[in-house]
A = this chain, B = another copy of it.
């Protein structure tokens, strides 16, 4: 079973057209990612940033939206590690309306490990790489298919 963050569409997330303002989904992606770090990777995202001084800026983003969400919807944002490179990590996201089996939104972002003190690209540290690769293996074992 892959990790899912439980969120709810809020009053202020809605735009003039009565559906979720699409930039809010990138915020949901990030909130779910933060939950994923604490819940699955065993380290709080703020410790990665503040203790280990590692930043993870996004260098590429892609997302598909098949059906909109409305105010009050309970949603589940699934997070997974799709790829681990020398200094890059790709995270995948799928957003479900609670109770539905097909995601309404899918997406992924490529992030790059940055030394926060020099603002230079750095190799993923071993302790971090091991946890990320373990996640990939577990997700493979569970046979989940994600784009």
Q: Contacts of A21 on B, CB cut-off 8 Å? A: 11-12, 30
Within 8 A of B (CB), among A1-57: 8, 10-12, 14-19, 21-24, 26-27, 29-31, 34, 44-47, 49-50, 55, 57
Report B-chain residues with C-beta under 8 Å of the C-beta of A17. 11, 49, 55, 57, 114, 116
Residues of B with C-beta under 8 A to A68: 57
How many Å lie between the Cα of A61 and that of B45 in the bound state? 25
Query: Could you tell me if B64 and A63 are in contact, using CB atoms closer than 8 angstroms?
Result: no
When all copies of this chain in the complex are counted, the total is 4
Say if the beta carbon of A141 comes within 8 Å of chain B.
no
* CB-CB contacts below 8 Å: A86-137 with B: 107, 109, 114, 116
In contact, B16 and A27 (Cβ under 8 angstroms)? no
Place the interface of chain A in its size category.
35 or more
Are B58 and A71 in contact (CB-based, < 8 A)?
A: no
- Whether A85 is near chain B, meaning CB under 8 Å from some CB there, is no
Chain B neighbourhood of A16, CB < 8 A: 11, 14, 18, 46, 49-50, 71
